Amino acid sequence: MVGDFAVGKTSLTQKFVNNVFSDKYLTTVGVKIDTADVSDTKLVVWDVAGRDALSPINAAYLAGAAGIVLVGDGTRPETIKSFAEIWQTVSGKLGDVPVVVALNKRDVDGWEVTDDLLQTSIQSSWAVFETSAKDGSNVPELFAALVDRINC
Amino acid sequence: MPQSLPDNINQTLMQRLNPAYLRLDATMKVTQTSSNLSEYGFADITEGVDATEHIDFLVGVDPAQALSLPVVASPNGHPVCIELLPEQGDLNVIIADAREQFDLQQKLQQKANENQLLLEKQRTLLGELHAAKAELARRNTELEEASRLQSSFLSGVSHEFRTPLTSILGHNDLLRKSLAAETRPKSDKKQIYTDAVRRASQHLLSLVENLLDHGKLDAGEITINPRPVQLSTLQNDLEMLLRPLADAKQIDLLMQRQYPVDESVYIDESRVRQCLINLAGNAIKFTDKGSVTISMAHKDDELQLRILDTGIGIKKEDLAKIRQPFWQVADTGKAGTGLGLSITERIIELMGGEMTIQSEYGRGTEVSFSLNAPATDASINLDQAREAAFKDQVSILLTEDDLDIAQLVVILLEEANAKVTHVENGELALQALQRDSFDLVLMDLNMPIMGGYETIRRMRDDGNHTPVVIMTASALEADMHKAQALGCDGYLLKPVEVADIVAIADQIIVPLE
């Protein structure tokens, strides 16, 4: 799980793994590792600390990843624009791994995802989901799509 | 450095980091473990088990590659630091306590991220604020445009009403004059009928003017022009105008005067008169028995005006509402636009005064205001100025397309010792000016073929400097300024009284030597 800080990576993971959600923002330091079974596949989810202006993503946490969930906040367009830079780090470390995109916080007012933004920030091979960690919409679909792509 | 020091440091660090250790072979099977591994939640790790089945962070990693993971949440929630160190085909895994580093980083990162989120929120809000301001400016422009259109509409309506009203009032006056000259039986009520027509027409005119003023006040187009005014004349005029209204309702109209009889002051006479007519007119309208008193006092350059009535009064809950435009007391059955009081208050404020209303429901109302009104020594003889006849005969070119109005003005001016030539548009006026010379040109603005402005421009271009007085129903300040810029000598608003024409002509016509 990679993306800018406060886009909801931990919330999505917790919703998917433990079906819990908290509104309180608690920044992730380093990495949290969780597991979940998707069909017959054991998915080990590395929830990596969000990128911010001062600390880029530590590529060490990407080691051995079979696929990536790129997470952005649909109410903060900047977090989607930064996909390009994050992808540079990811692909530099892992090559062309399967990617699914979560445009998170679909339940919040002020959705600012436009066609132009998608056109410039999302690669055509990536599967895109508008998700809500709060109400769970598209969360199982997101991880199932990633597993499908990894297993292909 | 003595040997004991590195040993001490080593011992301290080992205590603080409490490193746990396991060694894996090339197939990721555990070959060796330290006893403290369970302290980090890694239970059931015994020699011979497949490490990737028990330790999630080992899934997918390349055992031949060294890897350093500074902060990882261990299975029991403790943050740990993990080092993977390949050695001769095996892999050493070192797990150390990272709570200290985690706590510090967590605090700093949390604060920094929250601040950043606040900044982003602030940026968004500022963006919304700018957008809201832009929207506000756009709506303001729309409102200004709507206001301009309203003002233009009101002015147009006013124009349309003033022209026929001029004709009605003027012809009615002619009728009254001729009736007055006739000997008629006492039972003849024609005089009463013409008086009623005059009152109704003047009332209609005041309603139209109120509507126009409302629009002009909104557009900030009303300016105050103080001139020397004799207070007794002003009060006498008011009395003459209002007494028939009071008489018709059989109530007393009382005039209180507290100023020297010849006292003259600097005020905008027409606006003060308008305010007093509105207020006293209201007082008479809402008083069915008793009296209405108009009190005027002048002291220390301050004019104090008070209208007191013994009418129905105003309920407490209505006192604030009556100042709003278009508001009327619902159950009185009195007609009106509901604009008079609101306009009066705004005009009083424009003149630097403040209107005060005191009222007791069922007992009566007192409305008062004070204005700065410096006394003046200017010797004005208003009676003389309002003399409705020229001393010496003057020749006037009247340019007016409305034949009713033209006929009326011709009659009135001829009665006032003028020789009048009437033409119906600007083109004919230019031809008349080439044929004859005139002392004065009275010019309507809106005419077919050639309007007033164009005519004046051509006159001046031709070198003709005969004084021109505009006579129009347009009360727009813009028109007045334009007229001034074109070199007009006066601007009269319909309905025009002959006395006004005489007064203005006396000022501008220079007798030929």
Using the predicted structure, report yes or no on whether residue B419 has a pLDDT greater than 70: yes
Of A125-139, B128-142, B448-462, B488-502, where does mean pLDDT reach its minimum? B488-502
Superfamily of domain B387-508: Response regulator (3.40.50.2300)
Using the predicted structure, report yes or no on whether residue B382 has a pLDDT greater than 60: no
Q: What would the mean pLDDT of B407-436 be, rounded to a whole number?
A: 90
pLDDT given at position A22: 93
- Which of A120-124, B75-79, B159-163 is predicted most confidently? A120-124
pLDDT given at position B223: 78
Say if strands B364-372 and B302-309 run parallel, antiparallel, or are unpaired. Answer: antiparallel
Nearest Cα of chain A lies from the Cα of B114 at a distance, in angstroms, of 8
Closest in B67, B73, B112 to A33, CB measured: B73
pLDDT given at position B385: 44
**Confidence label for B383 from pLDDT (cuts 50, 70 and 90):** very low
- Mean pLDDT rounded to a whole number for chain B: 85
**Confidence label for B206 from pLDDT (cuts 50, 70 and 90):** confident
Q: pLDDT digit string (tens) for B436-463?
A: 999 999 999 888 899 888 999 999 898 8
Nearest Cα of chain B lies from the Cα of A26 at a distance, in angstroms, of 7
Using the predicted structure, report yes or no on whether residue A56 has a pLDDT greater than 50: yes
Determine whether the interchain pair A31/B65 forms a contact, defined as Cβ–Cβ distance below 8 Å. Answer: no
Nearest Cα of chain B lies from the Cα of A147 at a distance, in angstroms, of 15
- Amino acid letter, residue B309: D
Determine whether the interchain pair B113/A76 forms a contact, defined as Cβ–Cβ distance below 8 Å. Answer: no
Say if strands A68-73 and A99-104 run parallel, antiparallel, or are unpaired. Answer: parallel
Of B126-140, B232-246, B380-394, B490-504, where does mean pLDDT reach its minimum? B380-394
Q: pLDDT digit string (tens) for B104-143?
A: 888 988 999 999 999 988 988 999 999 999 999 999 999 8
Q: pLDDT digit string (tens) for B208-246?
A: 777 777 777 776 777 787 888 889 988 988 888 888 889
Say if strands B264-267 and B252-258 run parallel, antiparallel, or are unpaired. Answer: unpaired
pLDDT given at position B332: 55
Q: Which residues pair with A44 in a beta bridge?
A: A35
Which strand (E) or helix (H) includes residue B13?
Answer: helix B4-17
pLDDT given at position B335: 55
The Cα–Cα gap between B135 and A44 comes to 50
**Confidence label for B338 from pLDDT (cuts 50, 70 and 90):** low
User: Which CATH architecture group holds B225-372?
Assistant: 2-Layer Sandwich (3.30)
Using the predicted structure, report yes or no on whether residue B512 has a pLDDT greater than 50: no
Residue scoring higher pLDDT (B382 or B488) = B488
pLDDT given at position B24: 95
Enter the CATH code of domain B15-97: 3.30.450.20
**Confidence label for B160 from pLDDT (cuts 50, 70 and 90):** confident
Determine whether the interchain pair A44/B59 forms a contact, defined as Cβ–Cβ distance below 8 Å. Answer: yes
Using the predicted structure, report yes or no on whether residue A119 has a pLDDT greater than 80: yes
C-alpha distances in Å from residue B438, one per residue of A25, B441, B511: 90, 7, 12
Percent of chain A having pLDDT more than 70? 99
pLDDT given at position A19: 94
pLDDT given at position B403: 87
Determine whether the interchain pair A5/B116 forms a contact, defined as Cβ–Cβ distance below 8 Å. Answer: yes
Helices B190-218 and B231-248: crossing angle, nearest 10°?
120
Of A100-114, B39-53, B312-326, B432-446, where does mean pLDDT reach its minimum? B312-326
User: Which chain A residues contact residue B56 at CB under 8 A?
Assistant: 33-35, 44
Tell me if residue B83 falls in helix, strand or coil: strand
Confirm or reject contact between B65 and chain A (CB < 8 A): yes
Of B71-75, B76-80, B147-151, B344-348, where does mean pLDDT reach its minimum? B147-151
Query: Is A138 within 8 Å of A130 (Cβ atoms)?
Result: yes
Percent of chain A having pLDDT more than 90? 88
C-alpha distances in Å from residue A65, one per residue of A129, B61, B69, B396: 20, 8, 14, 103
pLDDT given at position B378: 57
Query: Is B268 within 8 Å of B229 (Cβ atoms)?
Result: no
Residues 6+ apart with CB under 8 A from B169: B198, B201, B202, B205, B495
The CATH number assigned to the domain holding A23 equals: 3.40.50.300
Which of A10, A17, A29 to mutate against chain B (most B CBs within 10 Å)? A29
Domain count, chain A: 1
Nearest Cα of chain B lies from the Cα of A60 at a distance, in angstroms, of 6
The Cα–Cα gap between B160 and B164 comes to 7
Nearest Cα of chain A lies from the Cα of B214 at a distance, in angstroms, of 43
Q: What would the mean pLDDT of B32-40 be, rounded to a whole number?
A: 89
Q: Which residue of chain B is at minimal alpha-carbon distance from A55? A: B109
pLDDT given at position B513: 38
Which of A10, A17, A26, A27 to mutate against chain B (most B CBs within 10 Å)? A27
**Confidence label for B295 from pLDDT (cuts 50, 70 and 90):** very high
Q: What would the mean pLDDT of B175-197 be, rounded to a whole number?
A: 81
Q: Which residue of chain A is at minimal alpha-carbon distance from B78? A: A32
Tell me if residue B313 falls in helix, strand or coil: coil
Determine whether the interchain pair A60/B73 forms a contact, defined as Cβ–Cβ distance below 8 Å. Answer: no
Nearest Cα of chain B lies from the Cα of A130 at a distance, in angstroms, of 21
Q: What is the dihedral of CA B382, B384, B388, B393, to 10 degrees?
A: -140
Q: What would the mean pLDDT of B479-502 be, rounded to a whole number?
A: 78
The Cα–Cα gap between B279 and B277 comes to 6
Nearest Cα of chain A lies from the Cα of B14 at a distance, in angstroms, of 22
**Confidence label for A6 from pLDDT (cuts 50, 70 and 90):** very high
Q: What would the mean pLDDT of A54-76 be, rounded to a whole number?
A: 92
Using the predicted structure, report yes or no on whether residue B80 has a pLDDT greater than 90: yes
Which strand (E) or helix (H) includes residue B115?
Answer: helix B99-181
User: Which chain A residues contact residue B61 at CB under 8 A?
Assistant: 63-64
B residues 85-144 lying closer than 8 A (beta carbon) to A: 98, 102, 105-106, 109-110, 112-114, 116-117, 120, 124
**Every domain of chain B and the residues it spans:** 15-97, 102-216, 225-372, 387-508
Q: What is the dihedral of CA A140, A145, A147, A150, to 10 degrees?
A: -160
B residues 356-385 lying closer than 8 A (beta carbon) to A: none
pLDDT given at position A137: 96
Tell me if residue A152 falls in helix, strand or coil: coil
Q: What would the mean pLDDT of B259-265 be, rounded to a whole number?
A: 89
Q: Which CATH fold would you assign to the domain B102-216?
A: Helix Hairpins (1.10.287)
Residue scoring higher pLDDT (B375 or B378) = B375
Domain that holds residue A70: 2-151
The Cα–Cα gap between B125 and A14 comes to 30
Determine whether the interchain pair B105/A29 forms a contact, defined as Cβ–Cβ distance below 8 Å. Answer: yes
pLDDT given at position A132: 97
User: Which chain B residues contact residue A43 at CB under 8 A?
Assistant: none
pLDDT given at position B274: 86
End-to-end CA distance of chain B: give it in Å, rounded.
Answer: 125
